[in-house]
């Protein structure tokens, strides 16, 4: 749980962690992976839970890029949608087959993290953390087209604004 301010960091700091993390992968993969960032500057000082991007980016590389024969490309963007912040990680990797995607979405919706979520513990953890902090209308969404792209988005409130079901947990 997020009980103190050190569990929350500005988005620019979270983004710096990801840039450093990806530099390590670039050493291993070389030019096989490129990354672009498109972050709304007005969101850079917004506080987000620490380490919410790393598990998603790691899944992107391990499950989406590992067996690619073409260069992999990751785009990380953050935009404001009314009172929400939407951070999306999109890749041109292997994608997720329809039956696997359906199963993954069901796991996220039911939050049954029974340990059988092979390779999805990080996604489940991020989704659960966001929902616990801000309520059920926030969390992850995932879309995918096999061999084309996968997009994983994190929706959370801007400046502590959130749904009425957990208002006391949403203000900084």
Cα-based torsion angle of the residue sequence 48, 49, 50, 52 in order, rounded to the nearest 10 degrees: -90
Backbone phi, psi, residue 3, to 5°? -100, -20
pLDDT in tens, the chain (172 residues): 444 556 899 999 999 999 999 998 888 888 888 999 999 999 999 999 999 999 999 989 888 887 788 889 999 999 999 999 999 999 999 898 989 888 888 888 776 444 444 556 788 889 999 999 999 999 999 999 998 999 999 999 997 444 444 444 444 3
CA distance 165 to 116: 30
Residue 63 DSSP code: I
């Amino acid at each position: 749980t997020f009980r103190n301010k050190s569990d929350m960091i500005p988005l620019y700091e979270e983004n710096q962690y990801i840039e450093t993390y990806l530099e390590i992968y670039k050493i291993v993969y070389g030019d096989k992976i490129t990354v672009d960032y498109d972050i709304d500057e007005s969101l850079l000082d917004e506080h987000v839970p620490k380490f919410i991007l790393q598990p998603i980016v790691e899944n992107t590389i391990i499950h989406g890029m590992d067996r690619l024969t073409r260069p992999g490309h990751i785009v990380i963007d953050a935009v404001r949608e009314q009172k929400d912040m939407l951070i999306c990680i999109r890749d041109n990797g292997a994608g997720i087959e329809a039956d696997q995607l359906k199963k993954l979405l069901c796991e996220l919706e039911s939050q049954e993290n029974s340990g059988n979520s092979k390779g999805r513990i990080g996604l489940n953890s991020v989704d659960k953390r966001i929902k616990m902090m801000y309520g059920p209308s926030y969390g992850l969404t995932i879309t995918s087209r096999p061999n084309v792209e996968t997009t994983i988005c994190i929706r959370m409130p801007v400046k502590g604004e959130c749904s009425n079901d957990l208002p006391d947990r949403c203000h900084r």
